[in-house]
């Protein structure tokens, strides 16, 4: 499964069995002991199609992993408009920015289909990673790589958009 979710998935794809922690790329190759420690930091949540998971500006320190289904990540704009940023489906994750920096949520997230999630609590994660620093290092290393890949993908999308629709005027630096 790719780090980035496939936005062209259908509702039929959501009939798959929910993933377990070891099925997520973030946790692949973790030992049984490491997985057991992570399992103590997560809760399972089910959300219905259209249900909002969080809104921009909300406080939160959790990261969400999509076990089954999918979510839409939306950036609210002025005058009730919004920009669709991404769709994360089975195997994807979201909310990692607040998990990392404990700052307010930067986007709205709602379930695109009935969706099963793991919710990884930063507070509980910190408690367990203090007992075994290797877990913290592994998770943050993988998060950093995933975020870097997302940023590279965003840069490519912006470059393609610029190619298709060049700016009206070019300023100097």
Q: Give the tens place of pLDDT for each residue, 80-116.
A: 899 999 999 999 999 999 999 999 999 999 999 999 9
User: Could you give the domains of the chain?
Assistant: 11-164 (2.60.120.10)
Terminal Cα-to-Cα distance of the chain (whole angstroms): 40
| CA dist list (Å): 149 to 2, 4, 17, 133, 159 | 11, 9, 27, 25, 15
> How far is Cα 98 from Cα 57, in angstroms, rounded to an integer?
11
CB 70 within 8 A of CB 18: no
pTM reported for the whole predicted model: 0.82
């Amino acid at each position: 499964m790719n780090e980035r979710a496939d936005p062209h998935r259908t509702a039929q794809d959501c009939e798959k069995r929910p993933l377990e922690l070891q099925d997520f790329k973030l946790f692949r190759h973790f030992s049984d002991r490491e997985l057991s420690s992570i399992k103590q930091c997560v809760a399972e949540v089910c959300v219905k199609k259209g249900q909002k998971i969080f809104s921009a500006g909300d406080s939160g320190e959790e990261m969400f992993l999509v076990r089954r289904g999918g979510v839409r990540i939306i950036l609210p704009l002025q005058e009730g408009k919004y920009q669709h940023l991404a769709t994360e489906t089975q195997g994807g994750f979201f909310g990692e920015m607040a998990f990392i920096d404990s700052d307010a949520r930067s986007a709205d997230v709602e379930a695109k289909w009935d969706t099963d999630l793991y919710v990884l609590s930063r507070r509980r994660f910190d408690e367990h990673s203090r007992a075994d620093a290797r877990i913290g290092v592994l998770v943050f290393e993988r998060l950093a790589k995933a975020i870097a890949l997302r940023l590279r993908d965003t840069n490519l999308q912006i470059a393609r958009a610029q190619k298709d629709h060049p700016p009206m005027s070019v300023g100097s630096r």
